[in-house]
A and B are shown apart, each in its own frame.
Chain A
Amino acid sequence: DAGVIQSPRHEVTEMGQEVTLRCKPISGHDYLFWYRQTMMRGLELLIYFNNNVPIDDSGMPEDRFSAKMPNASFSTLKIQPSEPRDSAVYFCASSFLGQGFSGNTGELFFGEGSRLTVL
C-alpha cells in the first residue's frame, strides 16, 4: 500500500479564498483523523471519522472549517473563507479497527501533510 496520501503538499492562497485539502487513507483502515500542526500549539485533533461517519468534530476551530468523508477511500477538509491564522500544516492519519479495541495494534499512520499558507 502507498500509505496515507494527501494533496496538495503545499498551498499558498489569499485571505478569503476557499481551500480544500484531500486525503486518501490506507485501504482497509476504518478510522481517519485530521490534525493541524503549528509551532505554538503543536498537533491539534480537528475531527475524526469511523467508517466514514464523523465521530467528534469538537476540535474544528470555527464554522469556516468543514470535513467530509463520502466514502472509505477519500476525505476532504475545507476552509471557507480562509484567514492568515489558518496557516499551518494539516495532517491526515488513518488506523485499523480504531484505538479502543483490545487485541488491536491501533497503530496510526500519517500522511506527509499539506502545508497551507494564507496571505
Chain B
Amino acid sequence: KQEVTQIPAALSVPEGENLVLNCSFTDSAIYNLQWFRQDPGKGLTSLLLIQSSQREQTSGRLNASLDKSSGRSTLYIAASQPGDSATYLCAVSNRDDKIIFGKGTRLHILP
C-alpha cells in the first residue's frame, strides 16, 4: 500500500530565503508525482507535475525534483515571499491510477 510522508509538518522561514520541502513515498512504481498548494479554506492548485521518466520540473521560482528509486521528491522555493505562505502537498499516482496524498507541509513566510 502506497504511503506518502511529508516532513516537516510545518515550517517558518524569513522572507527572501530559499527553502526545500520534502516528500517521500514507499512504493517506487509510480506514474507521476504532483506538488499542490492549498490556501486556507480553498481547494488545491497544481504547481508542478513530474512524470516518472523525468527528474525535475521548473516553474518560475519553483523547482521540483524526483528520485523514484529512493522514493523521494523535493520542492525548492527560491527567494521566498509572504505570498508563498500556504500548505504544500505532494501526491503520487500509482499504476492503478490512484492518487495518494501526503498530509502536507504548512509553510509560513515571515515578512
* A18 interface residue (CB < 8 Å to B): no
| Residues of A within 8 A of B (CB-CB), count | 26
A105→B49 contact, CB < 8 A: yes
B97 touches A55 (CB 8 A): yes
* A111-B43, A112-B42, A112-B43 known; A99 vs B32 contact (CB < 8 Å): yes
CB of A57, distance to nearest CB on chain B (Å): 12
Known: A43-B89, A99-B32, A100-B31. A48 touches B46 (CB 8 A): no
Given the interface pairs A42-B103, A42-B104, the reply to whether A99 lies near B45 with Cβ below 8 Å is: no
Q: Using Cβ atoms and an 8 Å threshold, which residues of chain A touch B31?
A: 99-100, 106
Q: How far is it, in angstroms, between the C-alpha of A31 and the C-alpha of B97 when the chains are bound?
A: 9
B110 at the A interface (CB under 8 A): no
Residues of A contacting B53 with CB < 8 Å? 102
Is A107 located at the chain interface by the 8 A CB criterion?
yes
Give CA–CA (A66, B45) in the complex, Å: 26
CA distance A56 to B98 in the complex (A): 8
Tell me the bound Cα distance from A56 to B49 in angstroms.
Answer: 23
- Closest CB of chain A to B46's CB: distance in Å? 5
Q: Which residues of B contact A (CB under 8 A)?
A: 31-32, 34, 36, 42-46, 49, 51, 53, 89, 91, 93, 95-104
